[in-house]
Amino acid sequence: MNPDERALLAELRSMWETVDPPPADLADHILFLLDLGDVEVMTASRQLSAAGARSAESTSTITFASGQLTVMVTVSRSGAHRHRLDGWIAPGVALRIDLRESDEVREGSSDADGRFVFTDVPSGFFQLVIHPTDDPAVRLTRPLVAPVTEI
Q: What is the pLDDT of residues 68-85, one digit of tens each?
A: 889 999 999 988 989 999
> Higher confidence at residue 47 or residue 94?
94
CA–CA separation, 108 and 130 (whole Å): 10
3-state secondary structure of 14: helix
The CA-atom distances, in angstroms, between 98 and each of 54, 84, 85, 121 are 35, 15, 12, 13
Whether 136 shows a pLDDT value over 90: the answer reads: no
Which pLDDT value is given to residue 52? Answer: 45
Instruction: Give the pLDDT score at 71.
Output: 94
Percent of the chain residues topping a pLDDT of 70: 83
Which of the pair, 102 or 39, is modelled with greater confidence?
A: 102
The pLDDT-based confidence of 20 (bands split at 50, 70, 90) is confident
Would you state the pLDDT for residue 24? 79
